C-alpha cells in the first residue's frame, strides 16, 4: 500500500535542513534542578518549574492521599459526571488566591484560551491583541473570527500608543464589545506586559481586559501574579493561567466574576467536551497554592538567582533581549547555530532548549534559559562557565 503520508516526510526533511526541528529528550526521573536526561546528568534550564515545586514532598503526599480517597481518575467530563468535591474545592481556592468572585479549571492552559476566547466575541465585537501573544490566544481569536464573525485588531508588541489607536478605532466603528488580550509575561522574551497602562486604557475606552498569566503566577506579585504586581486585581476582567509551570502541578485555570465562570463552563467546548482531570491533580494544585502563600522566600530566591544570572550572562557577552523575569534568553539569531549551541550545552551537562521558528520569528532563535528557585549560585556559575567556553568556541561572543 502506498504511503500517503510521504509528503509529510519531505516537509519534515526540509525543516530539518533549515534547523527548525525539535529533539525530544527524555527525563529519567522527576523535574528538578538536577536531572538525568537520556542517561546524562544535567543542570535543568529548560523547565517551567520556576519555584521547584514539581517534586515537592507535600505535593507528592497530597496526590497520594487523593488517589486513596478518590481513585485514579474522574471517570467523565466535568459537565456530566466528572466533577468531584475536590475539584470544586480547587475552584474556590483559585478565586481566593486570585482575589476574584469565582474560579474554575480547564484541562490545560491552552484549552482555556482556545476554548474561551471564541465565546467572548462574535459579530459586532472586536478582539484587540498584542502581536506576540501566546499561540493559544491566536488560535482562539482565529476561531472567533471564522466561526462567530468577530473582528480582530493587532497592536505592536507592548506599544501603548498603538493600543490606544486600536481602541479609538473600535469606538469610531461602533463595536458592541471590545476585549484587550495580552500575555502577562511573554514566554519567549521574558518581558512583562505594561498591565497598569493597558488597564488604564481599557477603563478609559470601556474595554474588557483578558490576561494570560501563565508565566506570571508564582513569579510576580509575591507569587499571586501580574494583577497583584500592578495592583489591578479589582480591574482585570478575565485572568487565566496554569498550574503546570511555577505551581508544579497540572491544568489550566480561569478566574473572574461569577457571571464569567458560569458563562465559560456553559459555552467552552474545550471544557465541555474533555474529561475532567484526575482528582489527585486537584489535590496537588490546592497544596501548591498553599505552599506559595506560606513560603514567600521561594519567590525571593527565584528573583535573586535571576538577577545574578542575567547580569553575569550579559557580562560574558550574550544578549538577553528584553528579559525582565526568570525567563532569560541567550539571543543567537541563526537557527542552526542555536541548535548547535543547545547540543553542545547538553554535552557539557546543561539542559537548555533552542527556541527556533515557528516558536519565534526567523532570525530570532535563542536558548531560553529558565531559572529555578532550587538552583544554587554554584549551579549558575557552572552554567556561566560553560556558556563562556561555548560562546568563544562557536564564535558567539
The total of other beta-carbon atoms located within 10 Å of residue 275's CB is: 14
State how far the Cα of 209 lies from the Cα of 229, in Å rounded to an integer: 16
Q: Among all residues, which ones are annotated catalytic?
A: 187, 215, 245
Adjacency order of strands within the sheet including 365-370? 327-333, 365-370, 353-355
Residue of 393, 391, 394 whose CA lies nearest to 317: 391
Kindly compute the dihedral angle of the four CA atoms of residues 37, 55, 46, 8, in this order, to the nearest 10 degrees: 70
The total of other beta-carbon atoms located within 10 Å of residue 190's CB is: 24
Residue of 290, 208, 282 whose CA lies nearest to 249: 282
Instruction: Report CA-CA distances (Å) from 385 to 252, 315, 392.
Output: 37, 12, 11
Instruction: Report CA-CA distances (Å) from 320 to 9, 178, 187, 261, 357.
Output: 35, 34, 13, 38, 18
Cβ–Cβ under 8 Å, residues 397 and 384 = no
Instruction: Please list the residues that pair with 183 across neighbouring strands.
Output: 212
Q: Which letter, b or e, does each residue of 328-337 get, where b requires 16 or more Cβ atoms within 10 Å of its Cβ?
A: bbbbbebbeb
Instruction: Please list the residues that pair with 185 across neighbouring strands.
Output: 192
The residue assigned the cell 532570525 is 363
Cβ–Cβ under 8 Å, residues 238 and 181 = no
Amino acid at each position: 500500500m502506498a504511503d500517503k503520508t510521504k509528503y509529510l516526510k519531505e516537509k519534515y526533511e526540509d525543516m530539518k535542513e533549515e534547523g527548525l526541528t525539535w529533539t525530544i529528550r527524555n527525563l529519567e526521573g522527576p523535574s528538578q534542578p538536577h536531572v538525568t536526561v537520556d542517561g546524562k546528568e544535567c543542570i535543568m534550564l529548560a523547565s517551567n518549574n520556576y519555584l521547584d515545586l514539581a517534586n515537592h514532598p507535600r505535593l507528592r503526599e497530597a496526590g497520594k492521599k487523593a488517589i486513596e480517597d478518590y481513585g485514579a481518575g474522574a471517570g467523565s467530563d466535568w459537565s456530566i459526571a466528572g466533577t468531584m468535591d475536590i475539584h470544586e474545592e480547587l475552584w474556590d481556592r483559585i478565586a481566593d488566591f486570585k482575589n476574584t468572585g469565582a474560579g474554575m479549571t480547564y484541562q490545560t492552559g491552552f484549552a482555556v484560551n482556545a476554548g474561551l476566547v471564541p465565546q467572548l466575541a462574535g459579530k459586532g465585537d472586536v478582539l484587540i491583541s498584542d502581536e506576540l501573544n501566546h499561540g493559544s490566544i491566536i488560535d482562539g481569536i482565529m476561531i472567533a473570527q471564522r466561526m462567530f464573525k468577530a473582528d480582530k485588531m493587532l497592536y505592536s508588541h507592548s506599544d501603548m500608543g498603538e493600543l490606544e489607536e486600536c481602541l479609538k478605532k473600535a469606538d469610531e466603528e461602533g463595536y458592541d464589545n471590545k476585549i484587550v488580550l495580552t500575555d502577562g509575561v511573554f514566554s519567549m522574551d521574558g518581558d512583562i506586559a505594561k498591565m497598569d497602562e493597558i488597564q488604564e486604557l481599557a477603563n478609559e475606552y470601556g474595554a474588557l481586559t483578558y490576561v494570560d498569566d501563565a508565566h506570571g503566577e508564582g513569579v510576580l506579585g509575591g507569587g499571586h501574579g501580574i494583577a497583584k504586581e500592578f495592583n489591578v486585581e479589582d480591574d482585570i476582567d478575565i485572568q487565566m493561567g496554569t498550574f503546570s509551570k511555577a505551581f508544579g502541578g497540572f491544568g489550566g485555570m480561569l478566574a473572574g466574576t461569577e457571571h464569567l465562570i458560569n458563562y465559560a463552563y456553559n459555552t467552552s467546548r474545550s471544557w465541555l467536551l474533555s474529561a475532567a482531570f484526575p482528582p489527585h491533580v486537584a489535590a496537588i494544585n490546592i497544596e501548591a497554592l498553599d505552599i506559595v502563600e506560606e513560603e514567600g522566600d521561594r519567590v525571593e530566591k527565584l528573583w535573586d538567582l535571576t538577577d545574578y544570572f542575567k547580569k553575569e550572562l550579559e557580562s560574558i557577552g550574550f544578549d538577553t533581549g528584553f528579559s525582565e523575569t526568570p525567563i532569560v534568553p541567550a539571543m543567537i539569531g541563526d537557527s542552526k547555530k542555536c541548535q548547535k549551541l543547545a547540543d553542545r550545552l547538553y554535552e557539557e551537562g546543561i539542559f537548555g532548549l533552542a527556541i527556533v521558528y515557528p516558536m519565534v520569528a526567523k532570525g530570532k532563535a535563542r536558548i531560553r534559559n529558565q531559572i529555578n528557585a532550587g538552583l544554587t549560585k554554584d549551579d549558575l556559575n557552572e552554567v556561566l562557565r560553560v556558556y563562556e567556553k561555548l560562546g568563544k568556541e562557536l564564535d558567539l561572543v
